[in-house]
Structure 1
Amino acid sequence: MAESIYNLLPEIKEETVKPPMYKATFDHSRKVPYSTFDQRKAKGGMFGIKEGKRSTEPRHFLRVGEGTEARRRAGKRPELPKIVHGLGGSGGGAARSGSSAGWASRGPTGMKRGLQLLPARMKPPVPRRGERPTMGLHSAKNFVTSNAVETILAVPANRRRPPIDYLKKEDFGRVPDYLAQVQAEVRAENEMVEEFVREQMGISAIAKEEIPEMPSEEQAELVDKLKAKWDDVNCR
């Protein structure tokens, strides 16, 4: 450090004040909510440490089928035939205890079955050295005649209908007939409604013919009078 007059001043040591000790709001002595690790094993416990064991070794934990509920369910399950792993017959694979014929006729629960669950051989065996394929077979069948008979007796296939070409139809570009029928029905309904309204108002077609038509001179005179009355009323 370089020489300075401030080096003659005594140094004041600042005491570090420790903050208060942190205390979590969660109480560690209380049980964790919705946890079953610190309580007695329930009736249907399926995982965790076995009942009565306090060791954390893996061999003391429950495994598949060792729970109370699992053991109860296991007592109701049907016993399946044991599977003996190894060569079963000449085809190899896994063989079941007992005869293959009994297994093909009856299932694991003792019920009769029509299909064999596991075949005796997954694939055909390798031919032996002395085996030879059957050769020299001849047939007396007349394939030409048989093919002709099959073709004659065969059911003809359904032919697809060609798509309709609307441009080549006879009534293309014309007004459809059903539109004329609809228009006639609409006109008939309108006439019926008009006649009903006339009957309600007391004016029939016969009375309309009997009423004389007002002459044009009388009509013009009536209009002039109405205009004069209108001016007289609105000028006040």
Structure 2
Amino acid sequence: MSEVVHPPESVYNLIPRDEVHTQKPPRYISKFRPTVILEKKLAKDAMRTMGPAKVEVPSPEKYLKKHSKEPKLLESEYFYRQYGQRIRAKPAVPARTDNPPMGIHTKRDFIKTTAMVPMKPQPTSVDTNKGHKQRLETSGLVPKYIKKKDYGEVPEYLLQRNEEERRAQEEYNNFVKEQKEQAAMKHLSDEERQAVLEGLKKNWDKLHHEYQGLSLVTDTKSKKAHKERLEVAMNQLENDISFFERFKTIYIPNN
């Protein structure tokens, strides 16, 4: 037996509580419900009686007779011979003005053509000593490709490919030429070379004047670094001045 579990005793359990009634939402009803009910009733009423549907019973007088299901010909397609036999009539004799039928081949025509014109043997080639043979046309021994009208001509797709390659090479050459023109060296005239030389000398004089104004004692790192920077800059300017004085023809890039 299962034991009854009582809730823990508390003063708050003695206070009456209001019952909370949850209101359920209305049940979903499809809008096609009346249509489905009507269709079900119609289908149910159709099979209300057990068994197959009632059909008209054939009359005893209309019993199945012999040859009644065979295709029947018209009365004009029959003619009668003796003894009452019913035989299909032959077609009427064509008139003199009627055109004869064309393109009809009979068995007699086939025998006549085959007997009059014998079949020609197909040319074959034997390629082994055991008698293996194959058709001469598909063996590759017949020079049928050299007799074509377009034999020896370059195909259209190769011409198109060559044209595309030539156009791409031409565009690449033009691009390289433009790059070379952009990266070409510019020749300095004597006036420009002299102006540059004077500017370098002025910069050297300015740095030299600043260098002469330094203190003789370089007891700090900042003074020592400043003196070294001035010496490096002056040495670079001296090299540039000697370069411009030694060479009369100088080229510089356009960039």
Shorter-chain TM range is under 0.3
User: TM-score scaled to structure 1, two decimals?
Assistant: 0.26
Which is bigger in relative contact order (C-alpha 8 A, separation at least 6)?
A: 2
- The structure with the greater share of residues assigned to strand is 2
> Highest CA radius of gyration, 1 or 2?
2
User: TM-score scaled to structure 2, two decimals?
Assistant: 0.24
